[in-house]
Amino acid sequence: MELLTSGLAVVFQPTMFILIVFAVFLGTLFGALPGVSATMAVTLGIPFTYKMDAVSAIAFLVAIYCASITGGGMTAILFKIPGVPSSAPTTYDGYPMAQKGEAGKALGMQLVCSAIGGMFAAVCMLVLSPQLTQAALSFGPSELFAISFMGLSILTSLETDNICRTIISGLLGLLLACIGLDPLLGVPRLTFGTRLLTSGIEMIPVMIGFFAVTEVLKQTAKPSKLQAVGGSGNMSAKLPTLKEFLSVKWIVARCSVLGTIIGILPGAGATIASFLCYSTEQKLSKHPEKFGTGCFDGIAAPETGNNAATGGAMVPLLSLGIPGGNAAAIMMSALVLKGVTMGPLLLVDQPQFLSATFASMFVSNIIMVFAAIVIAKVFVQILKIPYSILGPTIIMMATIGAYATKNTAVDVILMAVSGLIGFLFAKCKFNSSAMILGLVLGVICESNLRRAVTIAEGDTLFAAFANLAARPVTGIVLIVCVVVLVWPVVKPMIAKKKENK
């Protein structure tokens, strides 16, 4: 209760409340713009947080994150183009409803379900995070290594039809994290004799480059044009009637739980949650044939699921200091920049991080409904902003974010170079998300493993590793990691064998 009141006290401070309302509008707008993903929305929100304290910064970024996931559903319904990848299943039923002239109703259902999913996940986060933190407090370096390795073990699941390249990308991220002063010995490593690399690769400019500049370059190479259903008229969201909402109540309940659980799993995130919720509900439905033709069930399931995943993704970040996905990784970098030490002690020493995140999520999800209704009214007009104006503006906002990290133009150059490399990466079908995951988790993984090996005291390195794996929690988590890592590789092989038989 104390946590709850302290969180609400932070959020309802006049300045903070205005900032959250602003963040919700910004997030909804960014999420709704095709080509601006939720991750990019959070990235573009970073420059706004430089003068905020750490608690306000996380509350602000969380509001942008939640709102951008919801905003993505709007383009999915009106244009059949998901604003964010997690809104892709919303197109299956949202767009057919819009074609039938029921775009307003579809938008209304999407907003209500998103808000409920988001609020449910926020409550789960408030309840689960302290429990997980308590458990994590008894962990030593070996357990912390195992947990951070779990974050890396999902590399093979990120893109199951492109596993090899995804692994290379993740390993490249881990290698980049090695650049700079060694975390234990303090000697320069992989700096190639240049002083510029001694402090390591700054994460925020790299992320901004990969997620913002690369996307604009992609649009430069292949511009896409949008055509809304219903032409250029105004669109207004109609909130569902009680009867309409009651028809999807069990779907909302199931998908809230499922989405939150998936969000907690490192790397799984909102996209997997929305697809899984859609397919689960289709299987459970008495009328599966209605899915894909424009029904409320097909909108309620993915939209509840993807917003519930946002709250779930914050659980490992706040309680263990392990980001569950790209957006969480960016939030983590923003906090680290402010001198916050991530890890289990965060919530013990500064519980206001959890309470502020919860309150921000809860309040944002409510404000979001009204913000989206307002934005929907002028939505078609907003999307008329030509990309020739929007694209360069995104790059300039990105440069502000990169420059303000340390007030040095080197970071802007790093951002530009990262953007070019990101584009080359995309061309060669490497996975940028995997690389960022490796970059963020690299230092945590390495320093904990090396400390754990020293504590394990083996006669040889192999004996030290054996002692380390013999610890119960470490051993179990590492087994889970191996299964998660190997399963996507083995699964198609088993399926192929079965087919041959």
Partner 1 sequence: MVIELIVNILLLGFSFYCFWYVGATMPASAVNELGAEQWPQGILILMIIAIIYNIFKFFKKNKKEDIVSAFHAFPADVAGFFKSKLFIGMVLVVIMALCYEPVGFMVTCFVFLMLYGFLLGQRNVGLLVVTSLLITIILYVGFSVFLGVMLPRGQVSFLRNFALFVESLVPTF
Residues forming the site for partner 1 (CB under 8 A): 47-48, 50-51, 164-165, 167-168, 171-172, 174-175, 178, 182, 184-185, 187, 189-190, 192, 213, 216-217, 219-221, 223, 386-389, 391-393, 395-397, 399-400, 403-404, 407-409, 412-413, 415-417, 419-420, 423-424, 427-429, 446, 449-450, 453-454, 457-461, 463-464
C-alpha to C-alpha distance for 38 and 68, rounded to whole angstroms: 5
Q: Are 84 and 38 in contact (CB under 8 A)?
A: yes
Min. distance of Cβ 419 from partner 1 in angstroms? 6
Q: Which is nearer to partner 1, 55 or 434 (CB)?
A: 434
Q: Report residue 189: phi and psi, to 5°.
A: -135, 135
Min. distance of Cβ 317 from partner 1 in angstroms? 24
C-alpha to C-alpha distance for 74 and 79, rounded to whole angstroms: 8
Cβ neighbors of 287 (< 8 A, separation 6 or more) are: 295
Q: Are 23 and 60 in contact (CB under 8 A)?
A: yes
Q: Which is nearer to partner 1, 2 or 457 (CB)?
A: 457
C-alpha to C-alpha distance for 440 and 133, rounded to whole angstroms: 20
Cβ neighbors of 332 (< 8 A, separation 6 or more) are: 317, 321, 323, 342, 440
Min. distance of Cβ 171 from partner 1 in angstroms? 4
Q: Which is nearer to partner 1, 78 or 155 (CB)?
A: 155
Q: Which is nearer to partner 1, 21 or 171 (CB)?
A: 171
How many alpha carbons fall within 13 Å on the CB side of residue 345? Answer: 4
Q: Which is nearer to partner 1, 294 or 419 (CB)?
A: 419
Min. distance of Cβ 445 from partner 1 in angstroms? 9
Q: What is the maximum span of the chain, computed from C-alpha positions, in angstroms?
A: 75
Min. distance of Cβ 463 from partner 1 in angstroms? 7
End-to-end CA distance of the chain: 60
Q: Which is nearer to partner 1, 108 or 209 (CB)?
A: 209
Min. distance of Cβ 204 from partner 1 in angstroms? 13
DSSP 367: H
C-alpha to C-alpha distance for 466 and 472, rounded to whole angstroms: 12
3-state secondary structure of 489: helix
Min. distance of Cβ 279 from partner 1 in angstroms? 30
Min. distance of Cβ 434 from partner 1 in angstroms? 12
Cα-based distances in Å from 191 to 90, 171, 266, 317: 47, 18, 31, 30
Q: Which is nearer to partner 1, 162 or 285 (CB)?
A: 162
DSSP string of 122-183, one letter each residue: HHHHHHHHHHHHHHHHT--HHHHHHHHHHHHHTHHHHTGGGHHHHHHHHHHHHHHHHSEE-T
Q: Where are the alpha helices (DSSP H) in 383-471?
A: 387-406, 409-427, 432-456, 461-469
Residue in the block written with tokens 């947080």: 49
Query: Tokens in use for 137?
Result: 């407090």
Q: Which is nearer to partner 1, 463 or 494 (CB)?
A: 463
Q: Which is nearer to partner 1, 116 or 154 (CB)?
A: 154
Min. distance of Cβ 409 from partner 1 in angstroms? 4
Q: How far is CA 375 from the centre of its chain?
A: 23
180: which strand partners? 189
Q: Which is nearer to partner 1, 205 or 323 (CB)?
A: 205
Cβ neighbors of 396 (< 8 A, separation 6 or more) are: none
C-alpha to C-alpha distance for 228 and 455, rounded to whole angstroms: 61
Min. distance of Cβ 47 from partner 1 in angstroms? 6
Min. distance of Cβ 62 from partner 1 in angstroms? 19
Q: Which is nearer to partner 1, 100 or 427 (CB)?
A: 427
